[in-house]
Chains A and B, each alone.
Chain A
Amino acid sequence: MASTTQAASEAAGNAAGAAGHAAEKVGMPQLDFATYPNQIFWLVVALIAIYLILSRVALPRIGGILADRQGAITNDIAAAEDLKQKAVEAEAAYGKALTDARSEASRIVAEARDEIQKDLDVAIAKADAEIAAKSAESARRIDEIRASAAANVTEVARDTAAAIVAALGSKADAKAVDAAVTARLKG
């Protein structure tokens, strides 16, 4: 026990002595004030170097790069918007052209239809006229035939009546026979 306390006290004494002549031997180098001016000096140098590097070169450059990228993105979006607008316009133009063509086509169709109708009407009218003329001719001829047939009937009836009267043995008066036949035919 005595020896350990001896050793411990010696160690403590050594430490104290070491602290006296060479501060490096103190346990915590952080509390070695002899190195403070050195560290602070080099820290200030390092900080100034970093500050100059960053503020003069790096930060403006990175800021510029980011701004450029932002600008490029904005431009691209604007260009895309523009192209989209153009596409919409082209679509509208296409639609308009389509509508125009469709109306043109229907106009042409209507015109053609009208023309055909006109021709047709003319042809129908002509045919109607021809038909009317032909039917009038036919009617005339039928009338003629009917008239001649009636005349023939009258003639035959008169002749037949005169023959029958003669056969019965009496002298046929032509005028009386005529009158009788005519009266009978009318009846």
Chain B
Amino acid sequence: MATQEHGEGLVFHPMDQFSIRPLFGDGAIHMYTPTNATLWMAFSVLCIFTLFVLGTRGRATVPSRIQSVAELGYGFIHKMVADVAGKDGLKYFPYIFTVFCFIVFSNFLGLLPKSFTSTSHVAVTGLLAIVVFVTVTVIGFVKNGAGFLALFWIDSAPLPLRPLLAVIEVISYFVRPVSHSIRLAGNMMAGHAVIKVFAAFTPLILISTGIGVIVTPLSIVAISAIYALEVLVAFIQAYVFTILTCVYLKDALHPHH
């Protein structure tokens, strides 16, 4: 359906950019097949390695430009974890930082033309969210035992309301990984798909000069504007994913509101 050609020769493939293809050949995709997803995840790893390992090679007290970017990222997430999850959350800082770096680099690399956005796939964000959900739940029960269930039992509410609230809290607790993952994937997917839709309108001037004179420049302006918005969204979604991870971690470490 998406590959269906519409009238007037305009071609809409808004979802094609997300398709996963094997890098070599055209065979079936098995578990270990290197695909375009593999390639762009590898680029993310490479960028992280370049920034945080090669960039800080000098260990300069007065940092170089790239080193100060690395330090900025470190300080940003470190402060976020300390502020939101508390000092005892800092033990999990490396993992949170890993998730943040992966998401932020995947999002920004996905903004390059002809690239592939690994974080636009529910499989990827779903795994990230499920790992966070399971880890946080396990930490909650290990640290607090049955006291973790106090998270669902709101003492400040009137007694008759508490069972109802508990049900709502339990449901919202289990919806967390869903919204956590769909938010990131949906944002990434939506922006890229919208850019593609506008991109499909740009060659209209080649088909019909009359309406194309208006539509083509408008589409180009719209693509630029949405691209700018996407740059913002790419960072904000990584930030939101990370800060929500911190919030969930705080709930697990200190379940008493």
Contacts and interface: CB of A to CB of B under 8 A. Distances in A.
A40 B15 CA distance: 20
A84 interface: no
B102 A39 contact: no
Contacts of A32: 19-20
Interface string A12-30: 0001000000001101111
A35 B74 contact: no
Interface string A48-89: 011101110111011111101100100000000000000000
Interface string A139-171: 000000000000000000000000000000000
A35 B49 CA distance: 27
Interface residues on B, range: 35 or more
Interface in B203-221: none
A65 B59 contact: yes
B18 A30 contact: yes
A27 B15 contact: yes
A53 B124 contact: no
A61 B59 contact: yes
Interface in B1-28: 1-4, 15-16, 18-20, 28
A25 B31 contact: no
Nearest to B49: A53
Given A35-B20, A57-B53, A62-B56, A40 B41 contact: no
Nearest to A25: B3
A4 B214 CA distance: 30
B163 interface: no
B53 A53 contact: yes
Interface residues of A, number: 42
Contacts of B233: none
Interface stretch (B93-101, B147-155, B165-173): B93-101
B74 A39 contact: no
A62 B71 contact: yes
A74 to B, nearest CB: 13
Interface in B82-112: 93-95, 97-99, 101-102
Contacts of B246: none
A45 B98 CA distance: 13
Nearest to A52: B98
Nearest to A38: B29
Nearest to A44: B127
Nearest to A37: B31
Given A39-B37, A42-B37, A59-B74, A30 B31 contact: no
B98 A58 contact: no
A62 B1 contact: no
Given A46-B44, A53-B49, A35 B71 contact: no
Contacts of A37: 30-31
A36 B37 CA distance: 11
Contacts of B2: 27
Interface stretch (B114-122, B136-144, B235-243, B247-255): B114-122
10 contacts: A29-B19, A30-B185, A34-B29, A36-B123, A54-B52, A55-B94, A59-B97, A62-B56, A66-B71, A69-B61
